[in-house]
A = this chain, B = another copy of it.
Amino acid sequence: MTGRHDRPEPESFSMSNIAYFPKPHIDQRPGKRERTKTANRQAILDAAREVFGELGYDAATVRDIIRRTGLASGTFYNYYKSKEEVFDALADDGARRFRPLLRAESEKATDFESFLRGAILAYFNFVAEEQEAWRLDRPPGEPLPHARSTPEVVAVFDEVHEALARVLEREHAPPVDLDYLATACIAVAREIGEKMLERRPVDTQAAANFAVQLILGGLPALPRL
């Protein structure tokens, strides 16, 4: 249930509609049980996004999130164990939405430069759009903590790793420390991206140019393995 603010769904209406179908049990819509479950999950995630955006991660409490959903406190714990887990779920969600974009870039790329530019630009555009949904006008106090090692986040890291290996292999580039390289690429993208968001107007092209040129120019100079 969605709590006390739950207005009664027109369930009977839906039921009468089902009468038109010979086999009601193959109705694409999942049962109400399943629907309220996903609705509650989403409500908690949305509330958490708002609360983290307004109060910051540290100041936010589980109770703040619960209050905003209108659910009972116990209900929250049917879905997530803690504030950390909700945050991880949000990070996971972001990573899950970004991964296809990254993969598209790595498949579209013809060489290392086009991959790097495509991937970094895609990331910068992604975070620029996310910012408007996340911290609308949050005071520039403390930044949100970095994403932890959730499955989807790790998958993005691995994707970068593999894409780098693939592209460099294809170009017969000399072998370098791929682990360090991937780490450096992600570090540069992450921090330049953050700085980029502080500037007005937000210029993803210029930021991507900077990051790409830095890595691209540094690559030939890296120590060989």
Which residues from chain B contact A142 at a C-beta distance below 8 Å? 148
Residues of the B chain whose Cβ atoms lie less than 8 Å from the Cβ of A207: 180
Indicate the size class of the contact surface on chain A: 20 to 34
Of all chain B residues, the one with the shortest Cβ separation from A180 is B210
| Residue in B186, B191, B206, B222 whose beta carbon sits within 8 Å of that of A186 in the complex | B191
Q: Which residue of B lies closest to A187 (CB)?
A: B191
Pick the contact of A213: B145, B146, B187, B223 (CB < 8 A). B223
Binary per-residue interface labels of chain A (171-192) against chain B in the complex, 1 for a CB within 8 Å, 0 otherwise: 0000001011001101110111
Q: CB-CB contacts of A133-151 with B at 8 A, as 1s and 0s?
A: 0000000001001101000
Distance in angstroms between the alpha carbons of A210 and B122 in the assembled complex: 26
CA distance A217 to B181 in the complex (A): 14
**Smallest distance from the beta carbon of A186 to chain B beta carbons, Å?**
7
The distance in angstroms between the C-alpha atoms of A209 and B176, with both chains bound, is 12
In the bound complex, what is the Cα–Cα distance between A92 and B148 (angstroms)?
Answer: 24
> Is A218 a contact partner of B214 (Cβ separation < 8 A)?
yes
Please, which residue of chain B has its CB at the minimum distance from the CB of A210? Answer: B180
> Does the CB pair B213–A222 fall under 8 Å?
yes
With a cutoff of 8 Å between Cβ atoms, the chain B residues found around residue A192 in the complex are: 180, 183-184, 187
A145 to B58, CA, bound (A): 11
Cβ < 8 Å to B, chain A residues 141-177: 142, 145-146, 148, 177
Q: Is A219 an interface residue (CB 8 A)?
A: yes
A190 to B186, CA, bound (A): 12
Measured in the bound complex, the distance between the Cα atoms of B188 and A62 in whole Å is 35
A119 at the interface (CB under 8 A from B): no
Since A216-B218, A217-B219, A217-B222 are in contact, a sample of 11 more A-B pairs with Cβ atoms closer than 8 Å, ordered by chain A residue number, is A58-B84, A145-B145, A184-B211, A187-B188, A187-B191, A188-B188, A213-B218, A213-B223, A214-B222, A216-B221, A218-B218
